[in-house]
Amino acid sequence: MKNDVENGNSTEFGNVNKAFEDDSGQQDIQLKSSQLNGVPIVAATTDKTKLDGATDAEENVSAGQERQQWSNGIEFLMSCIAMSVGLGNIWRFPYTAFKNGGGAFLIPYIVVLFLIGKPLYYLEMAVGQFVSGGPVKVWVLSPALKGLGYGQMFATIMVLIYYCSLMALTVFYFLQSFASELPWSTCAEEWDNCFDSKGAEGNISDAANRTGYKSSSELYFYKYVLHEPNSIEDGIGAPDWRLTLCLLFSWISIFVVIVRGVKSSGKAAYFLALFPYVIMVTLLIRGATLPGAGQGILFFIEPQWGELLNPEVWYNAVTQAFFSLNICFGTLIMYSSYNDFNHNVYRDAMIVTTLDTFTSLLAGCTIFSILGNLMYELGIDDIQGVVQGGTGLAFVSYPDAISKFDAVPQLFAVLFFLMLYTLGIGSAVALSGAVITVICDSFPNLKYWIVALATCIVGFIGGLVYVTPGGQYILTLVDFYGANFTVFILGTIEMIGIAWIYGVDNLCNDLEFMLGKKMGIYWRLCWGVVTPVLMLVILVYSMVIMKPETYHDEPFPTSAYAAGWILFTFGVIQLPFWALLVIFKRRKGTFLETMESAFRYSELWRPRDNRKYKEWKDFKEKKTRELEQFLRHESLWEKIVRIITGNSPLRSRLDESSSVQTKY
């Protein structure tokens, strides 16, 4: 998808950048529109400007300041894999695929992966690397939109805190797996209407078919581990001391990994990225050899073609791709900001997004092979009776299946929960790193390890609410209102801000300079039209079909929904709040001049290295002159071709004319 000619700098997909410095570094070249035969052209004029509206923190992190970098590109790649391949691949994708057409779900999933997932993943990597700044600082490309960074950080904090509570549950189950008999395999005396997860096939089948009976694995999770109340109206209770210790261990683990920034997390990434695959393959081999495994995998991959016409299936495919890749949480921007300026993020983006899909399929086959065996043991024909989504899959269905293993079930339980913990810490390290980077970018005089320690302490204290008996009720609300829904809205605006306000031509020129290759038609079309339009359509559709969140199919009280909407409002309101603040600081002249000043990129949108900055400035000036030449002479058809492909047929004609003149 490489083009052989240079891109133009047009306004069709967004506003043309207005500020380029001259060779002295003291002046801007402001691009002003004029008219020639009804076609806007760009003329370069010089005008003294300053960093109008830039904060002191932004000034402090401008070019020239030392910034950590990855020791090598492999550490960055491994960190991205550890971040993107997380718990969602294990317990969300298999269940989502199963509920949305099985193998047929792969068609919409792969389509949206190519139209939304890959373009957005590559885009976030690229902008973070270009400006060498975190999720807030990157919005010097359009200062009025910096609230997007703060809103995403709010959502990231929400996810990080409850994510670590899930890791605490994983630690608890991991420790319990060393018992001589798996504690969830048999019923406790005080549990009514319970049947042993471990037992003779006939007994299990008889009990399972009795109305109102539950497996010991399910009751162990909800009654022994969580002590969950019947309703959130009964109160959430006090933190469980056992889970509190597990939560503390999880945060200590995170601190150890991130204490030295990417210098320490990069080293840990090798283990965090690769070890889960060793366990996953081991479990798949074991699962595939169990009776009924083939039937379970068949349930997972057998296509239900009629589901392709269901718009909700496509919506679920988009949300799965969106959140599986961990995009729009600021983590990708943060990680890529520590790259060398010319690092090949295109290659890494393609590797990680492809590997993430492969991992989801591998996890699906692994999980459903085990569930197929559980279905066989229970003597039932419908896997619906044994499969659950989310935490139910990780802490009920899978432990239930492991308890029936004849040979050393403890070993496979240890491996499974160790894999979950490793996947969890890889994502948690990235989430916490994004928060720390925003703070350090804003207050560069703070020591990194102190900020990391403070983040972990605050995260631990905030996470105590999730290790209470009613913690899962709170998690369900926060996950939707404070994280998923908020991030999707902010992510849609992020895509629009970069593609339509900063402009696809400007973006492609910057990436061409940074990576040394032109952006092909696929990227230009996705960034300029397909991805933002699809995300807008999906956002509107999600609002139309939105239903109140439930837990165990039971609605929350009105006060809980009100609290959820307050969380959502706090995250989203960051955008208009910071936009109005920037507009107020930059007010001058007419309303349009003020808006232009607030939304056009500042002088801090630039390569951090001064030498690269000088080269980039010259490169942009060259592009400006070329665009002026094209706009003066190209036909309407040539203009359309240039907008879509980044190539101008006029260049070929001009080159041919120049070649003929040189020859004669």
- Asked whether residue 86 falls in the same domain as residue 136, the answer is yes
**Per-residue pLDDT band at 632 (split at 50, 70, 90):** low
In a domain, 596, yes or no: no
Tokens in use for 322? 């969106």
Tell me which of 288-302, 507-521, 608-622 is least confident.
Answer: 288-302
The C-alpha atoms of residue 251 and residue 539 are separated, in whole angstroms, by 34
- Asked whether residue 363 falls in the same domain as residue 484, the answer is yes
Range of the domain at 13: 1-49+610-664
Tell me the percentage of the chain whose pLDDT exceeds 70. Answer: 82
pLDDT at 288 over 80: yes
**Per-residue pLDDT band at 648 (split at 50, 70, 90):** low
In a domain, 591, yes or no: no
In this predicted structure, what is the pLDDT of residue 20? 33
Burial 185-212 (b: 16+ CB within 10 A, else e): bbbeeebeebbbbbbeeeebeebbeeee
What is the β-pairing status of strands 214-215 and 550-551? unpaired
The C-alpha atoms of residue 340 and residue 516 are separated, in whole angstroms, by 14
- Asked whether residue 95 falls in the same domain as residue 1, the answer is no
**Per-residue pLDDT band at 532 (split at 50, 70, 90):** very high
Q: What are phi and psi of 326, to 5 degrees?
A: 65, 35
In a domain, 81, yes or no: yes
Looking at residues 86-92, what average pLDDT do you find? Answer: 83
Residue 257's CATH number: 1.20.1740.10
Highest mean pLDDT among 60-64, 128-132, 209-213: 128-132
In this predicted structure, what is the pLDDT of residue 627? 72
- Asked whether residue 505 falls in the same domain as residue 648, the answer is no
In a domain, 593, yes or no: no
In three state form, how does the secondary structure of 467-496 look? HCCCHHHHHHHHHHHHHHHHHHHHHHHHHH
The C-alpha atoms of residue 129 and residue 555 are separated, in whole angstroms, by 44
The C-alpha atoms of residue 141 and residue 147 are separated, in whole angstroms, by 13
In a domain, 338, yes or no: yes
pTM, entire model: 0.84
- Binding-site positions read 85, 89, 324, 423, 427
Question: What does pLDDT average to over the chain?
Answer: 82
Q: How many domains does the chain divide into?
A: 2
- Binding-site positions for Na(+) read 85, 89, 324, 423, 427
The C-alpha atoms of residue 129 and residue 118 are separated, in whole angstroms, by 17
**CA distances, 428 to each of 4, 82, 110, 392, 421 (Å):** 42, 10, 26, 21, 10
What is the β-pairing status of strands 214-215 and 194-195? parallel
Classified as helix, coil or strand, 130 is: helix
Looking at residues 280-303, what average pLDDT do you find? Answer: 86
In this predicted structure, what is the pLDDT of residue 634? 65
Classified as helix, coil or strand, 351 is: helix
Last residue of a domain, one of 518, 552, 575: 575
- Asked whether residue 546 falls in the same domain as residue 644, the answer is no
The C-alpha atoms of residue 122 and residue 499 are separated, in whole angstroms, by 13
In a domain, 88, yes or no: yes
In a domain, 603, yes or no: no
- The residues, ordered by sequence, that sit 6+ positions from 145 with a Cβ below 8 Å of its Cβ are 139, 493, 494, 497, 501, 575, 578, 579, 599
In this predicted structure, what is the pLDDT of residue 7? 40
Alpha helices in 47-117 (DSSP H): 56-60, 73-84, 87-91, 93-99, 106-112
- Asked whether residue 45 falls in the same domain as residue 184, the answer is no
Highest mean pLDDT among 95-99, 382-386, 578-582, 593-597: 578-582
pLDDT at 387 over 90: no
- Asked whether residue 85 falls in the same domain as residue 180, the answer is yes
- Asked whether residue 33 falls in the same domain as residue 174, the answer is no
Tell me the percentage of the chain whose pLDDT exceeds 90. Answer: 44
Looking at residues 560-568, what average pLDDT do you find? Answer: 93
Q: What is the DSSP string of 539-569?
A: HHHHHHS----EETTEEPPHHHHHHHHHHHH
Tell me which of 189-193, 234-238, 423-427, 632-636 is least confident.
Answer: 632-636
The C-alpha atoms of residue 479 and residue 92 are separated, in whole angstroms, by 13
Last residue of a domain, one of 550, 575, 600: 575
In this predicted structure, what is the pLDDT of residue 5? 36
- Asked whether residue 346 falls in the same domain as residue 471, the answer is yes
Tokens in use for 495? 């895509």
Last residue of a domain, one of 575, 601, 622: 575
- Asked whether residue 626 falls in the same domain as residue 551, the answer is no
Question: Looking at per-residue confidence, does 86 or 526 come out higher?
Answer: 526
In this predicted structure, what is the pLDDT of residue 651? 56
In a domain, 451, yes or no: yes
In this predicted structure, what is the pLDDT of residue 71? 87
Do residues 52 and 355 touch, judged by C-beta distance below 8 A? no
- The residues, ordered by sequence, that sit 6+ positions from 268 with a Cβ below 8 Å of its Cβ are 257, 429
In this predicted structure, what is the pLDDT of residue 218? 87
Closest by Cα among 51, 157, 84 to 336: 84
pLDDT at 4 over 70: no
- Asked whether residue 26 falls in the same domain as residue 68, the answer is no
- Asked whether residue 119 falls in the same domain as residue 226, the answer is yes
pLDDT digits (tens, 9 = 90+) for 211-224: 567 888 889 999 99
pLDDT digits (tens, 9 = 90+) for 161-185: 999 999 999 999 999 999 988 999 8
